[in-house]
């Protein structure tokens, strides 16, 4: 079962939230970030090439122009492979764990899996950044030493940065599954 809704992120860009419902205890949320815009790409390329041309008129060395082309190409490839995230996925499997995947624009995927035994809770936290209040969803991990303590806070959807309405959707579904998991794990 799948459904798709569109939300916006904290900067105003459009986000698409895909929800896939595999079973009562397995859910996947996929948040697609806005694509790289042609306008910004053109602007950066033009700036770099104008700067290179300015240097060329000063130095009369044509290597500068080829170097500028190389730098632009390598920079674009590096940006697509290491920086630009295409979509972020959150997979929750009851009694197994929570998995977060970030897929980059070049196709690379980086995955983190947290076992259910380590998860204390999933919460929406607020952060104050300059003049803004930003809400973000995060997973609290249990402290192995202290039973009621928290050892780590793992934020989710860091690159997509959705707004509160989207976060509430994800939060509700996560809490259902976590409650179900706590209820069944309490009984042997």
Partner 1 sequence: MVLKAFFPTCCTSADSGLLVGRWVPEQSSAVVLAVVHFPFIPVQVKELLAQVQQASQVSVAVLGTWCHRRQETEESLGHFLEGLGALFSHEPWLQLCRERGSKSWSCKATRRQGPAPLAPVCEDQVMLVFYDQRKVLLSRLHPPAALPERQAGDATASAGGLAAVFDTVARSEVLFQSDRFDEGPVRLTHWQSEGVEASILVELAKRAAGPICLLLACLLSLISAASACRVLRPWPLSFIWSKLSTCEQLRHRLDQLTLVVSTHRAGGPTQLMRKANTLVSVLLDMALGLLLLSWLHRKDRFAQLAEALVPVADRVAEELQHLLQWLMGAPAGLKMNRALDQVLGRFFLYHIHLWISYIHLMSPFIEHILWHLGLSACLGLTVALSILSDIVSLLTFHIYCFYVYGARLYCLKIHGLSSLWRLFRGKKWNVLRQRVDSCSYDLDQLFIGTLLFTILIFLLPTTALYYLVFTLLRLLVVTVQGLVHLLVDLINSLPLYSLGLRLCRPYRLAAGVKFRVLEREAGRPLRLLMQINPLPFGHVVRIYRLPSCGCHPKHSWGSLCRKLFFGELIYPWRQRGDKQD
Where does this chain bind partner 1 (CB under 8 A)? Answer: 22-23, 25-26, 28, 91, 93-96, 99, 101, 111-113, 115, 117-118, 144, 181, 184-185
Which of residues 92 and 166 has its CB atom nearest to partner 1 in the complex? 92
- To partner 1, the closest distance from the beta carbon of 116 in angstroms equals 8
Which residues make Cβ contacts (< 8 Å) with residue 167, sequence separation at least 6?
A: 124, 135, 136, 137, 157
Which of residues 72 and 99 has its CB atom nearest to partner 1 in the complex? 99
Which of residues 63 and 145 has its CB atom nearest to partner 1 in the complex? 145
- To partner 1, the closest distance from the beta carbon of 87 in angstroms equals 15
- To partner 1, the closest distance from the beta carbon of 93 in angstroms equals 7
Question: Residues 59, 67: contact at Cβ < 8 Å?
Answer: no
- To partner 1, the closest distance from the beta carbon of 165 in angstroms equals 26
Which of residues 27 and 31 has its CB atom nearest to partner 1 in the complex? 27
Give the C-alpha separation, 104 to 87, whole Å: 7
Sign for the CA dihedral angle at 38, 44, 47, 50 comes to: negative
Give the C-alpha separation, 117 to 138, whole Å: 16
Which of residues 32 and 89 has its CB atom nearest to partner 1 in the complex? 89
Query: Rounded to an integer, what is the distance from CA 132 to the centroid of its chain?
Result: 19
Residue that is written with structure tokens 């973000």 in the block: 136
Integer-rounded Cα Rg, in Å, for the chain is: 22
- To partner 1, the closest distance from the beta carbon of 178 in angstroms equals 13
Q: Could you tell me which of 173, 102, 101, 160 has the C-alpha nearest to residue 134?
A: 160
Phi, psi for residue 137 in degrees, rounded to 5: -90, 135
- To partner 1, the closest distance from the beta carbon of 141 in angstroms equals 10
Which of residues 61 and 152 has its CB atom nearest to partner 1 in the complex? 152
Give the C-alpha separation, 120 to 143, whole Å: 9
């Amino acid at each position: 079962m799948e459904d798709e809704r569109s939300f916006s992120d904290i900067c105003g860009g459009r986000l698409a939230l895909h929800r896939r419902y595999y079973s009562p205890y397995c859910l996947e949320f996929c948040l697609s970030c806005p694509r790289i815009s042609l306008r910004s790409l053109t602007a950066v390329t033009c700036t770099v090439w104008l700067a290179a041309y300015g240097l060329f008129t000063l130095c009369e060395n044509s290597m500068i122009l080829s170097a500028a082309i190389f730098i632009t190409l390598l920079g674009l490839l590096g940006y697509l492979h290491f920086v630009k995230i295409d979509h972020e996925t959150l997979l929750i499997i009851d009694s197994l764990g929570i998995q977060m995947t970030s897929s980059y624009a070049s196709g690379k995927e980086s995955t983190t899996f947290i076992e259910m035994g380590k998860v204390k809770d999933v919460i929406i936290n607020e952060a104050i950044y300059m003049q803004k209040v930003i809400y973000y969803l995060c997973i609290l991990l249990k402290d192995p030493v202290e039973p009621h303590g928290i050892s780590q806070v793992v934020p989710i959807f860091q690159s997509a940065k959705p707004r509160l309405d989207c976060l509430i959707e994800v939060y509700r579904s996560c809490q259902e599954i976590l409650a179900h998991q706590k209820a069944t794990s309490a009984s042997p």
